[in-house]
Chains A and B, each alone.
Chain A
Amino acid sequence: MQNEMLASIYQLAHQDTRVVFIGSDLKPETLEEMKKNFSDRFFMEGISEANTIGMAAGLASDGFIPFVNGIAAFMTRRCFEQIALDVCLHNLPVRILGNGGGLSYSVLGPTHMGVEDISILRTLPNMTILVPTNSFEMKELIKQSTNWLGPIYIRISKEINSSYYPSGVQPKIGEAVVFQEPAGPVDVLIVSTGYMTAKCSHAIKQLNQDCIFISHLHFHTIEPFDSKVFFRMASKAKSVLVVEENSVIGGLGSLVLEILSNSSINLNRVKVLGIPKKFLSNYGSHDEQLMDVGLDVNRIASEIKNLCL
């Protein structure tokens, strides 16, 4: 997804002279063409994430749209104050692209896992949070980002086959994507984001006839939350299952619970599957890490089944 993201920024830089790229010590071949063709709008900074955010805010305050790219965990944990004060307080159009969102940097350990980026940034006024499920969606959202006011964080995760994505859908910032919505009441509304949307789609297929009254809603935009579609679908469901590759504290699950606490919708259960509050000490593949925290297809399918009973 990272290469597709960089290509999208280069394409935007062709079309819009406000687009500036700021990297934080990324690989040498990053956007070589942009560096060559738009050298005054390409900055590869050192290992100085906080400075990249302040610098982006300064550029944005004078009319540019800076895309700042670095590792999700560093860009959010380390730069929180710069993001809060330099970017969000001034409501500037800085775009922060966090590589390795979720557990995708599985072999690098807890220092590099972006497991609470969404939670951290959700606390900030003015911040739009995008968690695309695949490259197609990511490219579409980046394309629209130059017309979006205020700051945006985009979580970049692993590249996956997008066969599960509904055909004909044109993702739009701020609008949830309906993956599945049967007519009439459902047992479970599945709410998911990012890579977990793919996992949920596979889990639903796996369930087959065991549990057929299911709806599935995907949020590539977590903030601002598309409450209109959510309420429409939640009001027809007995239970809601939220699945996210983020800490169970402060992410999409928390957001759903916050929204529901202010509504009159009656649900039997709301269940959140996410990453527990602990430092993960194992290595291995992304999927092995997901299995460790119960975010694999089998576990998701079994949770859906439990809620269908």
Chain B
Amino acid sequence: MSQLSHRINSQEGLIPLDGQSKYIRTLILRALRGGNLGHAGSALSLVEILRVLFENVLKFDSKNPNWPDRDRLILSKGHGCLALYAILAHFDFFPKSDLDRFCHHNSPLGGHPNHEKIKGVDFSTGSLGHGLSVAVGMALAAKIQKRSSKVFVIMGDGELGEGSVWEAALSAAHHKLNNLIALVDCNKYQAAGQTQQILNLEPLSEKWHAFGFDVFESNGHDISELKKVISQAVIESKKPKMIICHTVKGKGIPEVEQSRGSHFFYSFSPEQHKAFTEMLEKY
């Protein structure tokens, strides 16, 4: 039986970052600086998950973001939006200069993703525990319309405390939604502290298995392992899929990692930006 606690700050923390992962993180830092605040740790843990989805898995067209046959992606842990914004900007859904206006009064990019303002955001999120139910509806829609679209939904481990997640899990399995792929950015921390100490989720893998999912686990920062696991997960079976991605909150910036993921920065000075950029370069 796997225990998340055994993996905290173990393999995930040791994974080095390649140039692309560092580059995406510089975009996150750019937005943090632009907004002078933001959920840094929750975004930094997500980068490789989003990279693999956008680089290798998702069907999308940034020039035609509402293409009906695209795969859907819901960032249910909407507070991780800085990573999504960085990836979407990288893939030309909107200009990178928008990152400099993160959370400004008239900016399209706010503290949680807004589907009306941002191309590439399929559904607005922010309040936790909503994404999986919406994904169930989208996966059913694809089946009724006989589209091959897959629906991906990314949740946080702290988010799994929401009861609505488990209602949706029952429904996804009941309807045999094998086109639904849920991922957990399992960075082991929520706002109040270590998830295991706030509301223990273990045995997490067994729980999802018991709820009727095919369950996979991966180092959430190891690009090649993530690619392998996700491509294995999307292979047809009769069940919805759960990929538990073990990550480090604040990955890539040792100061954020060591501050237990610094859930939210209320201010982000030019000096911090400089220091964090240097830390990232050396990582």
Contacts and interface: CB of A to CB of B under 8 A. Distances in A.
Interface of A: 20, 40-41, 43, 45-46, 48, 50-51, 53-64, 66, 81-82, 85-86, 89-90
A66 B137 CA distance: 10
A55 B130 contact: no
A46 B141 contact: no
B167 interface: yes
A60 to B, nearest CB: 7
A59 B137 contact: yes
Interface string B138-151: 11111111000001
A60 B123 CA distance: 12
Contacts of B126: 85
B142 A62 contact: yes
Contact of B171 (A51, A82, A86): A51
A94 B242 CA distance: 28
A58 B139 contact: yes
Given A41-B144, A63-B141, A81-B127, A57 B134 contact: yes
Given A50-B164, A55-B134, A62 B124 contact: no
Contact of B141 (A59, A82, A89): A59
29 contacts: A40-B143, A45-B171, A50-B164, A51-B133, A51-B168, A51-B170, A53-B133, A54-B132, A54-B133, A54-B134, A54-B136, A54-B164, A55-B137, A55-B140, A55-B171, A57-B137, A58-B133, A58-B134, A58-B141, A59-B141, A60-B137, A62-B68, A62-B141, A62-B145, A64-B141, A64-B144, A82-B130, A86-B133, A89-B124
Contacts of A20: 144
A58 B136 contact: yes
Task: Summarize B's interface: helix, strand, loop or mixed.
Answer: helix
B115 interface: yes
Contacts of B135: 58
A70 to B, nearest CB: 13
B171 A48 contact: yes
Contacts of A54: 130, 132-134, 136-137, 164, 168
A86 B115 contact: no
Contacts of A46: 170-171, 174
A293 B130 CA distance: 38
- Across the A-B interface, give the 3 residue pairs with the lowest CB-CB distance, nearest first: A58-B137, A54-B133, A62-B141
A174 B82 CA distance: 41
A61 B137 contact: yes
Contacts of B100: none
Contacts of A63: 141, 145
A58 to B, nearest CB: 2
Given A48-B167, A50-B167, A90-B115, A55 B133 contact: yes
A23 to B, nearest CB: 13
Contacts of A64: 141, 144
B61 interface: no
Contacts of B127: 81, 85
A172 B179 CA distance: 40
A58 B138 contact: yes
Contacts of B133: 50-51, 53-55, 57-58, 82, 86
Contacts of B144: 20, 40-41, 64
Contacts of A86: 130, 133-134
Contacts of B136: 51, 54-55, 58
Contacts of A58: 123, 133-141, 151
B98 interface: no
A63 B164 CA distance: 24
Contacts of B171: 45-46, 48, 51, 55
A51 B167 contact: yes
A43 to B, nearest CB: 8
A187 to B, nearest CB: 48
A306 B125 CA distance: 52
A134 B197 CA distance: 54
A58 B140 CA distance: 8
Contacts of A43: 140, 175
B257 interface: no
A61 B122 contact: yes
A57 B137 CA distance: 7
Contacts of B168: 51, 54-55
Interface string B186-216: 0000000000000000000000000000000
Given A51-B164, A55-B140, 16 more contacts: A46-B171, A48-B167, A50-B164, A54-B133, A54-B164, A56-B137, A61-B138, A62-B141, A63-B145, A81-B130, A85-B124, A85-B126, A86-B130, A86-B133, A90-B115, A90-B124
A58 B179 CA distance: 14
A58 B170 CA distance: 16
Contacts of A62: 68, 137-138, 141-142, 145
Contacts of A60: 137
A90 B170 CA distance: 25
